[in-house]
A and B are shown apart, each in its own frame.
Chain A
Amino acid sequence: MSKLQDTARSLLDAGEVKVAIGYGEGSVGRVRPLFVTDAAGAQGLIYDGRCTQNLAVYTYKKETAAMGKPAVTAGVATMRALMRLVAERQLREGDFIALAVVGDEVTVCRTLSEMENWLAAAAPKPREADMEMIARIEAMTPAERWAFWRGEMDRCFRCYACRQACPLCYCTQCTVEVNQPQWIPVGATVQGNLEWHAMRAMHLAGRCIECGQCGDACPVDIPIHLLTVKLAADVRNVYGAATGMARDETCAMSIFKPDDRENFIG
């Protein structure tokens, strides 16, 4: 029995949490999210390189939130998402326990301070493959880049899997669902798709925690996460702010500091 399974079982046994949210074996060698509500079920929990889905989304999705206080298996990206949800007042200290995992090691984080310390030590970096892809796109001429994204957007059929997978798309009413007035067209056309994805990227500017799950969730493999990951890198370069690292961080786009760099103007 792994340390992760052990830890989850004892937390469930002690009644400290009602559910352990983690990863379990799925079909054809894939992993799937697993919701363990009794100690016996804890043996189904796994954690390996395939476990990339951001589990922070289940802390607020209606059906799973109703299961009670969770212990969430949290790699770096999930932990950053949890912390960002705290910063955006969607979660509070004590609402959840994070089982911080690195390889086979498990750290039980009950307090936000424990989570912040663990994150600071983990020193998260964006995924290398993403940064390589971004560099390739940046090397394109504007015309090539435009053609690239138009080609990608052409395939989008607006299933919104990107939004469902994103831990920070927690609004009960998304802009795209506002129809009085309908700023963003809902039809799956290149134009409407561009508007939707541009808007989603802007809504995540200064908030995205670089998990890349929106892109991974896309059924037609549009690397849509590159937009938000690039924005996150820009925000970090311009304002020096990494997101999802501390409970009291704000959003780089929602604050003004007299010493903000303004070299992007003119």
Chain B
Amino acid sequence: MARIGVFVCHCGENISSTVDCERVAQQAGRLPGVAFSADYKYMCSDPGQSMIKEAIAEHRLTGVVVSACSPRMHEPTFRKACAEAGLNHYLCEMANIREQCSWVHPKDEATTQKAFDLVRTQVEKVRNDNPLEPIRVPVNKTAVVVGGGVAGIQVALDVAAGGHKVILVERDPSIGGHMSQLSETFPTLDCSQCILTPRMVEAAQHPNITLMTYSELESMDGFIGNFNLRIRRKARSVDEKLCTGCGLCTTKCPNKKIPSEFEQGLAFRTAIYTPFPQAVPNKPVIDRDNCTWFKTGKCGVCGKLCPTGAINYQQQDEIVEVKAGAIVLATGFEVKKTDFFPEYGYGRYRDVITGLQFERLASASGPTRGEIRRPSDGRVPEKVVFVACAGSRDPAKGIPYCSKICCMYTAKHAMLYKHKVHEGTPYVFYMDIRAAGKNYDEFTRRAIEEDGAKYIRGRVSNIYEKNGKLVVRGADTLLGGKPVEIEADMVVLATAAVSCDGSEELAQKLHVSYDSYKFFAEAHPKLKPVETNTAGIYLAGACQAPKDIPESVAAASGAAAKVIGLFANDTLTREPVVARVNRTAPPIFSTCMGCGLCISICPYQAIDTEEITDRSGKVVKTIARINPGLCQGCGTCVSFCRSKSIDLEGYSNKQVYQEVVAMLNSD
């Protein structure tokens, strides 16, 4: 016979202002099987918990219903209290009479009745509860970091410093990401490569870090602590072990007119190339789409010249299988190209460039060796117009959000231009100057006050070419919307930061949720900013939303702290709320018919098959088997199984049925 205790919380006045808690407790006390009931102002307080513990001992309770807030809030608190009093964790259930009752209904008789009905369903659930034991699974203490930009490098270094193995996967031939393309960084104007390349080298040399460049994640299965990943190592066509990075092949390649991705199309590269001089690893790859050998079977110059014989035209993509306990996504962002803007010339005007292209112009390692020159004729521009919010904060362009980094880098660009071209005039069209951050506002003030950047508050309506000049038409909203026309030599668009190409597919491969802009979604916008909804997968940097370098690095260290915290234990405890396939007496063995449809419906790949054998080892039946380590207890298979051969521990068919009946029999 069940001896159930019901504890009704007032939650101060949160519940008691609309629900008659005392009456709910009294009525509950009269339910069959309820041995004790009480109400109290704050059940979650120490005295409240003590009340539960004492009642368990005194009334020899076999189950507890706490009727209070959402189980999301205090279920762990009450289950722990019950466990301390010797009751199994899973014999304690919560009736949510706050979020689902008192908060959403007025003070009324019916509200109290609903609270009682909710209590009654949970009494039925507890009556059919079984004690469960937590499942312990081992933790594989290797982390896979996807994306080798500054965020990914930081995660890798921090996790490696914690003594754990890291595999850093980067789809480009070199790590470094966007930061390696930048000239100087705000608000200090220190050289981007000078501060990044030491971290790149450190990552490459760290004994705990394995670099996998020119590689992409192919597929993932498994779960927190035990992920199985398949990583495609794309064929470099260069044997990394033999190559010394001498670069002879790249100088002799006859195919020299391929727009360089690293230089944002402002310079050319060869078909066999190293993306930039400080690339890590400093080993070239052959771009097979543009290589004469791969297109026509003729040439082979690099193969003939290579002093170590490292060129391998026959190399194939290789699939590497990796086991890991945690995954960190740091895949970064992209910027819109100029062809996205019909009003600014659809990318037809060569001297209308993106902010990222300006970074290359201003960079000492860039195509102009740091001199600001127009891409069209190489002249030094006398007037440069910078357009902030190109695409960003523009619902009509489908990008209603703020790209966050543009205000700062546009101020930086105006400054760098002025520092390099003293007689030049930088104009900045802006909507607002968003310079929140340490030393940020001071930085933009400096651009305006010391470097003479002419800030015009207004948007640019269109740009057209006239007599070798770019006519920029806009409005000055601080002068009542007065039309402004500037004949510029060059225009720099601070184009919107958007999610990376392929991020949606990656999110689907990893079962990670993403927002409508295809940025990866955090588990909680405030309290879980680096976690995803999938346990064991974390986020760092601008793959989540536009972020500047300090924010990306901070998020990366945050994600690394989560990984190290996970790896601090040899095993991890999982909720025993898992599905199980029934077993019955011979000759049926299980009512499961082994049709296998649950295998494809399971979103966690937790189901495979198992063979039931007789004594002689002969297979008598093949049925579904659910891996309790992989099962997340979602119940999809339970509802899909036609023969009702699967049941969910803690939420069994019987329990749910009894809850429904209790609710329907309400009087």
Select from chain B the residue with minimum beta-carbon distance to A171. Answer: B643
Interface centre among B588, B597, B600, B658 (most CB of A within 10 A): B597
Q: B657 and A88: CB pair below 8 A? A: no
Do the beta carbons of B598 and A172 come within 8 Å of each other? no
A170: chain B residues within 8 A (beta carbon) = 593
Answer yes or no: B508 CB below 8 A from chain A CBs. Answer: yes
B584: min CB distance to chain A, Å: 9
Interface string of B628-656 (1 = CB under 8 A from A): 00000000000010111100000001100
B228 interfacial contact with A, CB 8 Å: no
B597 touching A175, Cβ below 8 Å? no
Q: How far is the CA of A203 from the CA of B596 in the complex (A)?
A: 14
Task: For the complex, give the distance between the alpha carbons of A253 and B601 in Å.
Answer: 8
Contact B600 A173, beta carbon cutoff 8 Å: no
Q: Which residues of B contact A136 (CB under 8 A)?
A: none
Is there a chain B Cβ closer than 8 Å to A237's Cβ?
no
Give complex CA distance A170, B643 in Å.
10
Q: Check B591 against A89 for contact (C-beta < 8 Å).
A: no
Which A residues lie within 8 Å of B598 (CB)? 254
For A263, the chain B residues whose CB sits under 8 A away are: none
Q: Tell me whether B643 and A172 are in contact (CB under 8 A).
A: yes
Report the separation of the CA atoms of residues A170 and B593 in the bound assembly, to the nearest whole angstrom: 8
Decide yes or no: A178 and B593 within 8 Å by CB, A250-B600, A251-B600, A254-B598 being known contacts: no
Question: Is B595 an interface position by the 8 A CB rule?
Answer: yes
Is A49 interfacial (CB 8 A cutoff)?
A: no
B645 / chain A contacts, CB cutoff of 8 Å: 173
A171 touches B591 (CB 8 A): yes
Pairwise interchain contact B594-A89, C-beta atoms closer than 8 A = yes
Q: Which residues on A sit within 8 Å (CB–CB) of B642?
A: 171, 174-175, 203
A251 touches B643 (CB 8 A): no
- Asked if A159 is an interface residue, CB under 8 A from chain B, the answer is no
Q: Which residue of A lies closest to B624 (CB)?
A: A89
A14 at the A/B interface (Cβ < 8 Å)? no
CB within 8 Å of B: which A179-238 residues: 180-181, 183, 203
Inter-chain contacts of A250 with B (CB < 8 A):
597, 600
| A181:B593 contact, CB within 8 angstroms | no
From B595, B601, B643, contact of A88 by CB (8 A): B595
Min distance, Cβ B160 to any Cβ of chain A, angstroms: 35
CB pair A181 B653 closer than 8 Å: yes
Q: How far is the CA of A183 from the CA of B661 in the complex (A)?
A: 11
Please determine whether B657 and A183 come into contact, CB atoms closer than 8 angstroms: yes
Which residue of the partner chain B has the closest CB to A173? B591
List residues 394-431 of chain B with CB under 8 A from any CB of chain A: none
Kindly state the separation between the CA atoms of A172 and B588 in the bound complex, as whole angstroms: 8
Say if the beta carbon of B622 comes within 8 Å of chain A.
yes
Q: What total count of A-B pairs have CB within 8 Å?
A: 58
Q: Which residues of chain B come closer than 8 Å to A29, judged between CB atoms?
A: none
Of the four ranges (under 10, 10 to 19, 20 to 34, 35 or more), the interface on chain A belongs to 20 to 34
A88 in contact with B644 given A172-B591, A181-B657 (CB within 8 Å): no
Any chain B CB within 8 A of the CB of A258? yes
Indicate the member of A175, A183, A254 with the most B CB atoms within 10 Å: A254
Which among B597, B622, B640, B642 has the highest number of chain A CB atoms within 10 Å? Answer: B642
A254 to B591, CA, bound (A): 20
- State the CA gap A245–B305 with chains docked (Å): 56
Determine if B653 and A172 form an interchain contact, defined as CB atoms under 8 angstroms apart. no
Bound CA–CA A173/B653 (angstroms): 16
Contacts of A255 in B (CB 8 A): 600-601
Knowing A178-B644, A254-B601, say if A172 contacts B593 (CB, 8 Å).
Answer: yes
**Would you give the 0/1 interface string for B445-466, flagging 1 where the beta carbon is closer than 8 Å to chain A?**
0000000000000000000000
Given A89-B595, A181-B657, is A173 in contact with B644 using a C-beta cutoff of 8 Å?
yes
CA distance in complex: A89, B645 (Å): 16
Q: With an 8 A cutoff between CB atoms, is A90 at the interface? A: yes
Residues of B near A181 (CB, < 8 A) are 653-654, 657-658
A178-B644, A258-B508 are known contacts. Are A88 and B591 too (CB-CB below 8 A)? Answer: no
Are A173 and B654 CB-contacts (below 8 A) given A88-B597, A250-B600, A254-B600? no
Indicate whether A175 sits within 8 Å of B622 (C-beta atoms), given known contacts A250-B600, A251-B600, A255-B601.
Answer: no
Complex Cα distance, B642 from A256, in Å, reads 19
- C-beta contact mask, B262-299 vs A, less than 8 Å → 1, else 0? 00000000000000000000000000000000000000
A183 proximity list for chain B (CB < 8 A):
644, 653, 657
Considering only residues 67-102 of chain A, those with a C-beta below 8 Å from chain B are 88-90
Closest chain B residue to A175, Cβ basis: B644
Do A173 and B643 form a contact, CB below 8 Å, given A180-B654, A183-B657, A258-B508?
yes
A217 and B597 CA atoms in complex are apart in Å by 27
C-alpha gap A181/B661 in the complex (Å): 11
Interface centre among A172, A174, A180 (most CB of B within 10 A): A172
Give A181's nearest chain B residue, CB to CB. B657
Residue of A nearest to B657 (CB): A181
Alpha-carbon distance A203/B658, docked complex (angstroms):
23
* B508 closest partner in A (C-beta): A258
Q: Is the CB of B593 within 8 A of A90?
A: yes
Within 8 A of B (CB), among A239-258: 250-251, 253-256, 258
Q: What mask results when residues 64 to 104 of chain B are scored 1 for a CB within 8 Å of chain A, else 0?
A: 00000000000000000000000000000000000000000
Kindly state the separation between the CA atoms of A254 and B593 in the bound complex, as whole angstroms. 16
Kindly report which residue of chain A lies nearest to residue B588, judged by CB atoms.
Answer: A172
CA distance A255 to B598 in the complex (A): 9
Find residues 592-634 in chain B having any chain A CB closer than 8 Å to their own CB: 593-598, 600-601, 603, 622
- State the Cβ distance, A191 to closest chain B Cβ, in Å: 14
- A180 to B591: give the CA distance in the assembly, Å: 14
Q: Which residue of B lies closest to A204 (CB)?
A: B642
In the bound complex, how far is the Cα of B322 from the Cα of A58, in angstroms?
47
Chain A residues 141 to 199 lying within 8 A of chain B, measured CB to CB, are: 170-175, 178, 180-181, 183
Chain B contacts for A256, CB-based, 8 A: 603
Residues of A within 8 A of B658 (CB): 181
Q: Is the CB of A175 within 8 A of B600?
A: no
CB distance from A32 to the nearest CB of B (A): 27
Task: Write the chain A residue with the least CB distance to B636.
Answer: A254
For residue B656, which residue of chain A has the nearest CB?
Answer: A181
- Which among A89, A175, A254, A258 is the interface contact of B643 at CB below 8 angstroms? A175
Instruction: Tell me, rounded to whole Å, the shortest Cβ–Cβ distance linking B21 to chain A.
Output: 31
Binary CB contact string for chain B from 556 to 600 against chain A (1 if under 8 A, 0 otherwise): 000000000000000000000000000000001001011111101
A178 to B, closest residue via Cβ: B644
Q: Given the complex of chains A and B, what is the CA–CA distance between A183 and B640 in angstroms?
A: 14
A183 CB, nearest partner CB in chain B, Å? 7
* Chain A nearest Cβ from B82, distance in angstroms: 26
A88 to B595 CA separation, bound complex (whole angstroms): 4
A63 to B: closest C-beta gap in Å: 15
For the complex formed, measure the closest distance between the CB of B412 and the CB atoms of chain A, giving whole angstroms. 40
CA A253 to CA B595, docked complex, whole Å: 14
Q: Which residues of A have CB within 8 Å of B588?
A: 172-173
Known: A171-B642, A173-B643, A203-B642. A90 touches B595 (CB 8 A): yes
Q: List B contacts of A173 (CB < 8 A).
A: 588, 591, 643-645
CA distance A169 to B542 in the complex (A): 52
Residues of chain B with a CB closer than 8 A to A178's CB? 643-644, 653
Shortest beta-carbon distance from A64 to chain B in Å: 17
A-B contact pairs, 22 of them (CB 8 A): A88-B596, A89-B594, A89-B595, A89-B622, A90-B595, A170-B593, A171-B591, A172-B593, A173-B588, A174-B642, A175-B643, A178-B644, A180-B654, A181-B653, A253-B640, A254-B597, A254-B598, A254-B600, A254-B640, A255-B600, A255-B601, A256-B603
List 16 other contacts, CB 8 Å, given A89-B594, A203-B642, A254-B601.
A88-B596, A89-B595, A90-B593, A90-B595, A171-B591, A173-B644, A174-B642, A175-B642, A175-B644, A178-B643, A178-B644, A178-B653, A180-B654, A250-B597, A250-B600, A256-B603
The 8 tightest CB contacts between A and B, nearest first, are: A181-B657, A173-B591, A254-B601, A171-B643, A88-B595, A254-B597, A203-B642, A178-B644
